[in-house]
Chain A
Amino acid sequence: MRSTDAIEKYVKTTTVKTDPQVNKAVLDDLLDRMDRDSGAPCTAPPHGIRRTIMTGKLTKFAAAAAMIIATIGSVYFLNNAVTPAYSMEQTIQAGRDVRYLHFSFYASLNTDIADKEAWLEYDDGGQIKNIRVDWYNQPAGDMTMVWKEGRTQYWTKKSKTLRFFEDEIYTEKMVSFARRFDPTRMVKTMYDLEKQGKVKVQIHEPSDITQPIMLTCTWLPNTYIVKGTSPQMREVVHIDRFTKLVTSVKVYERKDGNYEGGGVWKYTDYAASFKTEIFDLDTEAPADVKRLDLMCLDIGMERTDLTDEEIAIKVVRSFLQALIEKNYETAVKIYGYENPDDREHLMQNLEKLNLIRIIEIGDPVAPRMDSRGKLRVPCRVESEENGQVIVWEIENMFAQRVIGHSNRWHVEAEFIR
């Protein structure tokens, strides 16, 4: 065992170097921010020049001639301009006063059937006030989620269930969703990232004024999503010629050297306000839809100051121990449920498991393709079946956070012998 001094020295002396290119980009951004703050002084034209010109006959004539030539030249230049007149700042400016956004997502460039549809409402200060997202044709059926003042309403139409909960995680996700697909913010992000050299944006302003302005933003591999890997992506943003607002965003993915369409967002109704009812699913859902207030449930176990891995093991061990002790009240509480009507039925199922002993609980691992932050906790137990003791490896034993109760964890399991 090494001494504490050696560890202190090791931690102190371990160094890391940053990438010079990125350092430059960051420093440029910092200096740019500093300049913006300092408000560079206006450069006033030199005094007296106009007065000097306009007092002499010859200079007055020469000035008039110069102005005529300049005017003719300007008209000619404007008519034959090659440089795009459009700039992204125009879209950023045009979107500042937008209070209502309504858009739909189509999974293919060649379909009229929307996968999802969203409505966003901002308050007068530009803060997100209400969000609604409808998912269509999903494997689990159509779903609608509304976020309003920190409270989430989640209606799964196939199962006829409407859940209510206040969960900071869902709030974060809904707000992130809204921000991500706020087209003004999207263009602003592109604008900022291009200045930092992180993406490439090309502006195409067709000479045919009936055609939209197009911004093509190309993302390097593994940069399109914050976490995880991603191929090289391309977004083509269509801008309305007159309002300068975004009308659609087409998303492409690079495969085998070609860009393939991955979907399109279409923005409509910039000016139209929404009825407040669309953000109230309790009124909208029929009477036979079961209402569940998840905030009223007392399920799971307190996380205290444990790490994710530690609490995952603790809830799984406590759950299994409760089953062994035939304490089904505790077991069902740790297992958790959304609908109190399911509690009795769940307890009856747990009673059938007949666990005798925990043999082993392994290290928790994050399952692949999971976005819920749950951890799989492999475990081996002994159970009794038809008078015989058998060793049972429970593959699908998970631990995860209780929705609406950020400091509580519960288990989720499938018991397949």
Chain B
Amino acid sequence: MLEDKRLVWQLRRGSRDALRVIYDKYRDDLLRIAAGLLKERTQAEDAVHEAFISLAERPRDFTLTGTLKGYLAVCVANKARNINRTAHHQRIVPLDELALPPSGARRPDQWIIEDEQFRRLCDAMARLPYEQREAVILHLQGSMKFRQIAQLQDVSVQTVQSRYRYGLTKLRSLLNGEVTK
């Protein structure tokens, strides 16, 4: 926590090293969060990249009220929501897909080097309703408090706790046999 405050202080003074340390410190955690919230690796790449862009652009204006990891996790979660909304929409439109090459190229195969356990967890996560998935991931992987998640989801703390419980219960049944006591 203190180290993060020092890093943010240095970042605000334009320290490239601070940005490098922050990126190295949190990139894997954020990617894990993004991959759990999104269906595709390329999307996870986008979400993580954009979370860090919010630090890299205008670092002097950056102010941190909570934890740095929490801030970045919220950035990833917000981006994931936008991507999911857009992705859902894009799937439905019949507007001449052949005429619509993409706006950017990605390298999906090279972003996440995933192991089998991670893949199984992502598969199971994908079967949870989005709000439950978000509550579970942000609490367990993003180390966010239910209160912070409630603010993000714009619901009461009790609702987030319920979503978390339901999510875990469903995960438990989906992963039964995969998890050792």
Task: Determine how close the nearest CB of chain B comes to the CB of A222; give it in whole angstroms.
Answer: 7
Q: Is A372 an interface residue (CB 8 A)?
A: yes
- Using Cβ atoms and an 8 Å threshold, which residues of chain A touch B136? 11
How many chain B residues touch A (CB < 8 A): the figure is 70
Say whether, besides A2-B176, A14-B117, A305 and B129 are in contact (CB < 8 Å).
Answer: yes
Report the Cα distance A28→B32, complex, angstroms.
21
Q: Is B93 an interface residue (CB 8 A)?
A: yes
| Inter-subunit contact A34/B93 (CB<8 Å) | no
- Using Cβ atoms and an 8 Å threshold, which residues of chain B touch A135? 96
Q: Is B171 an interface residue (CB 8 A)?
A: yes
User: Which stretch from B56-64, B68-76, B149-157 is at the chain A interface?
Assistant: B56-64
| Inter-subunit contact A33/B56 (CB<8 Å) | yes
- Using Cβ atoms and an 8 Å threshold, which residues of chain A touch B112? 16-19
- Using Cβ atoms and an 8 Å threshold, which residues of chain A touch B109? 222
- Using Cβ atoms and an 8 Å threshold, which residues of chain A touch B58? 37
Q: Is A170 an interface residue (CB 8 A)?
A: yes
- Using Cβ atoms and an 8 Å threshold, which residues of chain A touch B108? 222
| Inter-subunit contact A14/B121 (CB<8 Å) | yes
Q: Give 1 or 0 for each of A189-217: 1 = CB within 8 Å of chain B CB.
A: 10001000011000000000000000000
Report the Cα distance A14→B20, complex, angstroms.
24
Task: Determine how close the nearest CB of chain B comes to the CB of A413; give it in whole angstroms.
Answer: 18
| Inter-subunit contact B52/A34 (CB<8 Å) | no
CB contacts under 8 Å to B, within A24-63, are: 26-27, 29-31, 33-35, 37-38
Cross-chain contact of A2 among B19, B89, B114, B179 (Cβ < 8 A): B179
Q: Is A373 an interface residue (CB 8 A)?
A: yes
Cross-chain contact of B16 among A16, A31, A308 (Cβ < 8 A): A31
Say whether, besides A1-B172, A177-B99, A30 and B56 are in contact (CB < 8 Å).
Answer: yes
User: Which B residue's beta carbon lies closest to that of A26?
Assistant: B49
User: Which A residue's beta carbon lies closest to that of B128?
Assistant: A307
| Inter-subunit contact B27/A23 (CB<8 Å) | yes
| Inter-subunit contact A168/B89 (CB<8 Å) | yes
Cross-chain contact of B32 among A16, A31, A174, A226 (Cβ < 8 A): A16
Say whether, besides A172-B93, A199-B105, A226-B103, A14 and B118 are in contact (CB < 8 Å).
Answer: yes
A-B contact pairs, 23 of them (CB 8 A): A2-B172, A2-B176, A2-B179, A6-B179, A6-B181, A10-B117, A10-B121, A14-B117, A15-B118, A16-B28, A16-B31, A19-B111, A19-B112, A22-B107, A27-B20, A33-B53, A37-B56, A169-B93, A193-B104, A223-B106, A224-B101, A227-B102, A371-B91
5 cross-chain pairs, A with B, having the tightest CB-CB distances, nearest first: A373-B91, A373-B92, A226-B102, A169-B89, A223-B105
